[in-house]
Structure 1
Amino acid sequence: MLENLVAWLTGNLSPSARIWTALAPAILACAYFLGGLLIFCIRCAFKGVPRDEETLKRGSTVLVGFFLRHYFFWVIQPLWAVILRSGLPANALSMLSGLLGISSGVAVAAGRFALGGWLFLAAGILDVMDGRIARTRKEANPAGAALDSVLDRYVDSAMLMGLAWYYRDTWVLLPALGALLGSSLVPYVRAKGEGLGVSVRDGAMQRLERVLFLGVGTALSPILEAVFWPEQKHPMHWLAVVGLVFVAVMSNLTAISRFRNLVKALAPKRQEARSEKAIVGLNAAAGAIATAVDFALVLALVEWMDLLPAWATVLGALLGAVVNYSINRVLTFRSTAAVGRQMVRYAVVSGTSALLNAGGVALLTLHPQLAYTLGWWLVRGVVYFAWNLPLQRDYVFNDTASNNDTLLEQRPHAA
């Protein structure tokens, strides 16, 4: 018995012990939560879904809807009642949540994924309770809210830093860093929006979802490793990898969605002839047509007229630029401003776009493990949405701005 306890504490576990350290808490948790779900469903059938007012205010997401949220807060009521009667201050729960969350990062960095996962989930449950305890006792104050919010960032960062350290010699380091970035930006964009008077709470990957997918995936991952790869000294923990990649992708998509909605809410309103989706579609179609025309001319000049490929490429690029400009002017933006000014601005945007694309691909090719074709597409997509499209809309084909510039040029200068 003592030897097993020492092995558990030092992490020198056999495959079966690794399974049970992950599975034993899971069995207890599953028995409680699945039994609670059955009782909850029976209760809902006779009395309806018990509504949790705070859940209704906070809203739901695609990944975790209202039913599951109401169920969760209903099923943890016994634990919440015990903590409420204990008299523990809400700030003490916040600190305990922070300590458990930081400990989870230390555990996974050392390869103890079951321990780290369950600590992370326990920290998440305590984080749910501290604010409710404070509001129930009418002790809620800005200092407690600030403490809770900052500790949440430390907990998320500690867990993801621990995973990044464990996977530092593998490709999983990249999604770990991506999840760290996304998990930091999601609450930051929301806080920035609230500071500017705009509420941005949308997105599928909020904190409850991050804790759920990352915590469960990490806690249960040793089971698969012990069953299929029992002899590996540094197992991949594939279930944790899946949860980590999912959190990385969805948290960044949530941050981008919030950022886009925030900028859209704060930006001056524009009178568009059509929807933004239609503009993006037509602009992308213009680019595809121009690329096809460019390539066809290069083939024709090289194959039929024996022109050097370099000169053919120059002529093809010029024709593609004219085609792209014409389609965007006539169909996409329906511009009526002076052609000369637009052509100059279009040339500036196209030239800088070429430099950005070339520089981005050059940087990514410094990492030989990344295929240059994938890097090419990644850079193209980023440059298109971050540079080409906004500048074509707001700088090249913006008739209002062009008319204002013309009026400023025509206004007589003061003596």
Structure 2
Amino acid sequence: MSEFWSWFSGDLSTEARILSAVAPALLPILWFIGAMVGYAVHVKRAGPHIDAEVEDRQTSPLLGLSLRRAVDWSLQPFWRAVRATTLPPAALTTLSVFLAAGAGVAVAAGRFSLGGWIFLVAGVFDMLDGRLARATNTASARGAALDSVLDRMSDAALLVGLAWYYRGSWVLLATLVAIVSSHLVSYVRARGEGLGVSVRDGWLGRPERVVILGLTVALSPAIAALQEPLSAHPMHWLAVAGVLIVAVGATLTAAVRFIHLLARLDTRHLRGRSLGLGEGSAFRAGVAAAVATAVDAASVVALVAVLDAPAWLATLAGCGVGAVVNFSLGRSWAFDGSEGPRGPQARRYGVVWTGSSLLNAGGVGLLLLLPGLDYRVAWVIVRAVVFFGWNYQLQRDYVFAPADGVPHDA
């Protein structure tokens, strides 16, 4: 009885911790191997498994179309069993949320293996609810809204549990980024669809996030038991890696979707100023900014290292030096503003530069309130955000905008 309770409470030996993480994986591994072999035979005899639900979904390097077809083919018996229960689709949606919430609680309590496997099971049920609704002709706007909202709750559940577990560590910041960026990926897609634009770009959609987080969290105790066998609160580095992958991947995916959404909505910029390598493109603006930033960075480092100037003041001075370089490159090459009058362009650039300087200096000053953060790291983070969110947009559409509003190379 005591041994059973130790498994339930998580008070396990090193061997038991490894076994608790790896043992649940044996069944999925055996199923996956059998599924791949069986599907290969099926393809050879009858061709690839084609299902509209699979074909319409977003693919990625992690979960390509062939793998999705194989997994869907192997899940057909389970799918038929679910249909045979005659459960309403909303029941599967609710069950998925309950399981995801349970996974979050388990992880918050330090039971990573239990939480990870429960989260993966929740992902399977979430994959089936919409399909069940369409297969039984019960799909409705109400059901779609319910599914969308509850999916966001499921997305957050495991990450909130991880945030609680890592609340005293730097991993908390990565977990918060993962929460925000994961929601942005879905929100940008939903907003695009509301505006009549399909946006499914990027590498880390919801299925990929579920697989990465579920597997890394579920298997992390096996590695933690070897690395930190005596720790009552191990770091679970494999789970940390999963969080970092999701945080970075979801942020990039949301950014790519957002950029593509804006490009598809703004036909004037689509004709030549935002995309590609020509005049007015983000590429040329980025090169011009990189050259100016190199001069800026050298100035900042020199002022801080040699003259011992405060980081925020050095940043402000560096912006001034880089501004001259950036304006010259922008006018002559990046945006080809040489046809416009230099004086008005310089005044407009001064407005943009003032805002950029204040944003950069203020951003660096605020980030340095965080203990242990190097000023160079803070500088890079702030500079990237200000470039894409402020400098490029205003230089393209305000400082060097053609008088007729039509791009030079359109």
TM-score in terms of structure 1 length: 0.87
Cα distance per residue 1:28-72 (max 9 Å; x no partner): 111112111111122223322111211111231122100011011
Does residue 380 (structure 1) correspond to residue 383 (structure 2)? The answer is yes
Aligned equivalent of 1:213: 212
Residue type at the aligned position of 1:394: D
**Superposition pairs of residues 354-373 of structure 1, within 5 angstroms:** 354-373=357-376
Higher alpha-carbon deviation: 68-77 or 284-293: 284-293
CA contact (8 A) 1:395 1:401 kept: no
Residues 337 and 402 in structure 1, CA contact (< 8 A), matched pair in contact too:
no
Instruction: State the 1:290 CA deviation.
Output: 4.7
**1:246 is aligned to 2:245:** yes
Unaligned stretches of 5+ residues in structure 1 = 299-308, 404-415
Pairing 1:272–2:275 present: no
Letter in 2 for 1:395: Y
Q: Which amino acid aligns with 1:64?
A: L
8 Å contact kept, 1:107–1:113: yes
Instruction: Tell me the CA shift for residue 288 of structure 1.
Output: 4.7
Q: Which amino acid in 1 is paired with 2:334?
A: T
Which amino acid is the alignment partner of residue 353 of structure 1? S
**Alignment correspondent of 1:85:** 84
Q: Give how far 1:368 is off.
A: 2.4
Residue 400 in structure 1 maps to residue 399 in structure 2? no
Once the two structures are superposed, what CA deviation does each residue of 1:302-346 show, in whole Å capped at 9, x if it has no partner? xxxxxxx9xxx9999777544432332122222212222111111
Offset at 1:373? 0.8
- Per-residue CA shift, 1:175-218, capped at 9, x if unaligned? 11011001111111111111111111121111110110000111
- Could you say which residue in structure 2 is the equivalent of 1:408? none
Corresponding position: 1:32 with 2:31 = yes
Report the CA distance shift for 1:401/1:375 in structure 2 as closer, same or farther (over 3 A).
farther
Matched with 1:161 is 160
Q: Which residue of 1 aligns with 2:142?
A: 143
- Partner SS for 1:58: coil
Structure 2 partner of 1:328: 330
CA contact (8 A) 2:263 2:274 kept: no
Deviations 1:46-105 (A, max 9, x none): 322111211111231122100011011111111111111122221111111111011000
Larger mean CA deviation between 350-359 and 142-151 belongs to 142-151
Structure 2: how far apart are the matches of 1:176 and 1:152?
18
CA distance in 2, matches of 1:105, 1:53: 32
Distance 1:345 1:88, change over 3 A: same
Q: Secondary structure at the match of 1:269?
A: helix
RMSD: 2.7
Letter of the structure 1 residue corresponding to residue 350 of structure 2: A
Q: Does residue 1:346 correspond to 2:349, yes or no?
A: yes
- TM-score, normalized by length of structure 2? 0.89
Note the residue ranges of structure 2 that are not aligned, 5 or more in a row: 301-308, 310-314
3-state SS of 2:56 partner: helix
Tell me the alpha carbon deviations over residues 344-383 of structure 1, each in whole angstroms, 9 at most, x when there is no partner. Answer: 1111111221111111110011012211111111111111
Whole-angstrom distance in 2 between the partners of 1:96 and 1:264 = 39
The alpha-carbon distance between structure 1 residues 171 and 144, as it changes in their structure 2 partners (threshold 3 A), is: same
* Number of residue equivalences: 392
**Aligned mates of 2:40, 2:192 — CA distance in 1:** 38
User: Does the CA contact (< 8 Å) of 2:316 and 2:361 recur in 1?
Assistant: no
Structure with max Cα Rg? 1
C-alpha separation between the residues in 2 aligned to 1:213 and 1:243?
6
* Distance in 1 of aligned mates of 2:246 and 2:62: 12
Change (3 A) 1:338 1:215: same
Match of 1:57 in 2: 56
Worse-superposed segment, 250-259 or 316-325: 316-325
Contact 1:203–1:254 under 8 Å retained in 2: yes
Aligned to 1:304: none
Match of residue 228 from structure 1? 227
The separation in 2 between residues aligned to 1:374 and 1:316, in whole angstroms, is 16
Q: What does residue 202 of structure 1 align with?
A: 201
Measured after TM superposition, the shift of residue 268 of structure 1 is: 4.4
Could you say if the C-alpha distance between residues 27 and 289 of structure 1 is closer, same or farther in structure 2, counting changes exceeding 3 Å? closer
Distance, in Å, in 1 between the alignment partners of 2:33 and 2:255 is 35
User: Secondary structure in 2 aligned to 1:153?
Assistant: helix
SS class of match (1:400) = coil
Q: Secondary structure at the match of 1:64?
A: coil
Identity, % of aligned pairs? 48
Query: Alpha-carbon deviation of 1:15?
Result: 1.6
Matching residue of 1:21:
20
C-alpha separation in 2, matches of 1:29 and 1:295: 51
Amino acid aligned to 2:386? V
Q: Which moved more, 1:320-329 or 1:175-184?
A: 320-329
What is the CA–CA distance in structure 2 between the aligned matches of 1:134 and 1:217, rounded to whole Å?
Answer: 31
- Alpha-carbon deviation of 1:392? 0.9
